[in-house]
Structure 1
Amino acid sequence: MRYEVSERIPQDAKSIRETVFVDEQGFHDEFDETDEISLHIVAYDGDAPVGVCRVFPNEGNTWTLGRLAVLKPYRGRHLGAGLVGEAEKTVRSRGADRLTLHAQERVKDFYRSLGYRDMGIHDLDEGCPHMWMDKPLAETVGNKAGDDEEL
């Protein structure tokens, strides 16, 4: 697996997010102003784009991960865990000591398997239950492969 980090959202990232979040999951507000301040990480299997996420700076040394998606034919191969690991490495190299994320509640166990913990803030995003989670990156020495069926 190869990862590319871009300061602007590449077409490959847009295509994957449209397929997973809009076509499969029915979200409407997929692209926003946060895309302009984010780093976009795309996973490639050879030349084929297969997964994506974005990370952006928050308060202090905290960054936020979002829009993690893996195309259906590639799920169950730990690509979601690989993307999270690449995101952690990327933001650590930029001084981050904590990563937060706004997860769909149905995938909380995936993030827990990677060391993320519930921050106790639960809400709805376009009617879908979500929760805020975080992970101190100082504790991270590698990433644990989790199940990414949900992506």
Structure 2
Amino acid sequence: MMRFRKRIPAKDDRAITALVRKTLLPYAKIAKPSLSVSLKEMKERLAVGVTWVLTENGRLQGFIHVKPEQNVLLVSLLAVKPSSQGKGLGSRLMRRAEKYASDQGYQGICLFADRSNSKAIRFYKLKGYRIQEYISEIDNYMMWKETV
């Protein structure tokens, strides 16, 4: 059974870091080949904002990390294990972040998607996110959606 909860650092951070390395870092390395992610760096990044995880039988299947940026909520990280993709977990995580943004009174949600990650860009567009701008320095699209 899938379980939704807030991140427990001692329990989740190693699995989150491994998932970021496997699913997100390959895209980020296209623009910046020397990029790496350490457990310490990940703990520091996750310390600011809120992280929700989805687990099954105690094992992390996906997570989303959000943090406030002025009057918008930034989706800082979203990843789902490859074996769990296509099962609605990413959509479930995004709905949680969008509800949080609405409940907290943010004007919208923004996120950055690697230009080479067409699957993610398509996913976000299907969720109603629009490309606001392309940032060549990091080879990312900034995407935006107003809160309801």
What TM-score, normalized by structure 1, do the two folds share? 0.75
Give the aligned CA root-mean-square deviation in angstroms.
2.2
- Provide the rounded CA distance (Å) in 2 between the counterparts of 1:51 and 1:68: 8
- Provide the rounded CA distance (Å) in 1 between the counterparts of 2:113 and 2:133: 12
With over 3 angstroms needed to count, the CA separation of the structure-2 counterparts of 1:88 and 1:18, relative to structure 1, is: same
- Provide the rounded CA distance (Å) in 1 between the counterparts of 2:93 and 2:55: 11
With over 3 angstroms needed to count, the CA separation of the structure-2 counterparts of 1:119 and 1:18, relative to structure 1, is: same
Q: Could you say what secondary structure the match of 1:93 adopts?
A: helix
Shift of 1:110: 0.8
Pick from 111, 114, 134 the counterpart of residue 144 of structure 2: 134
Corresponding residue for residue 31 of structure 2? none
Does residue 47 of structure 1 match 2:58? Answer: yes
Corresponding residue for residue 149 of structure 1? none
1:36-115 equivalent positions in 2, closer than 5 A: 36-60=47-71, 62-105=72-115, 106=117, 107-115=120-128
Q: Which runs of 5+ in 2 are unaligned?
A: 27-34
- Provide the rounded CA distance (Å) in 1 between the counterparts of 2:123 and 2:146: 17
Alpha carbons 1:52, 1:69 under 8 Å: kept: yes
Shift of 1:97: 2.5
| Percent of aligned pairs with the same amino acid | 22
Deviations 1:14-66 (A, max 9, x none): 23332232245445136354422210110122432210110111112x11012
Corresponding residue for residue 29 of structure 1? 37
- Give 2:133's aligned amino acid: G
Q: Could you say what secondary structure the match of 2:104 adopts?
A: coil
Q: Could you say what secondary structure the match of 2:36 adopts?
A: coil
Q: Whose helix fraction is larger, Structure 1's or Structure 2's?
A: 2
What TM-score, normalized by structure 2, do the two folds share? 0.76
Shift of 1:95: 1.7
